[in-house]
Amino acid sequence: MEARLDLFGSPLAGTFMKHLASAGRVLQGGAVPAATQELVNLRTSQINGCGFCTDMHTKEAVRAGEDPTRLHLVATWREATVFTDAERAALELAEQGARLADAAGGVTDEAWQNAAKHYDEAGLVALVCQIAAINAFNRLNVLTRQPAGDYVPGMFG
């Protein structure tokens, strides 16, 4: 597959993505564990059909020491026994946040209240921002058909 646009060679796209990535870096080391952030990124990318981000976040999670079994089970997290209740709440919020057009009402009160049991206000803000950021990256990559498979962990700094 060949990309429709060279996002990495475009000065405008490069500047935009640097700002978006900077916004995402604000969330690191904060109210949501890094492992949960990667699970959210991975599940959202799977739902949105973003091969580039699925590749990237799988490899980054492995690099950070994530258990491959958990990564293999992210798509079926409801049936898997390897996720904590807090991770399950974050994954549910991520799924509903990725499926806004399908959800006919957005994120349910039940999903929000469940997340609020596990995350304080700072954690909820971080999750919402994480979900928004990965959705933006997914859309950039899907719109331009960025190919997957060649990502090297750490290649963006």
Tell whether 23 is covered by a domain: no
The DSSP 8-state label assigned to residue 76 in this structure reads G
Tell whether 126 is covered by a domain: yes
pLDDT tens column, 31-58 = 999 999 999 999 999 999 999 999 999 9
| pTM, full prediction | 0.93
Strand, coil or helix: 118 = helix
Give the C-alpha distances (Å, rounded to integers) separating 51 from 65, 138, 147: 21, 9, 7
Tell whether 154 is covered by a domain: no
- CATH at 113: 1.20.1290.10
Answer yes or no: are the C-beta atoms of 131 and 40 closer than 8 Å.
yes
Tell whether 70 is covered by a domain: yes
CA–CA separation, 105 vs 94, rounded Å? 15
Counting the structural domains of the chain, the total is 1
pLDDT tens column, 57-82 = 999 999 989 999 999 999 999 999 99
Range of the domain at 129: 34-143
Tell whether 69 is covered by a domain: yes
pLDDT tens column, 17-31 = 999 999 888 888 789
Tell whether 74 is covered by a domain: yes
Strand, coil or helix: 20 = helix
Sign of CA dihedral 117, 122, 140, 100: positive
Tell whether 40 is covered by a domain: yes
Tell whether 114 is covered by a domain: yes
Tokens of 62: 């492995």
Tokens of 67: 């258990």
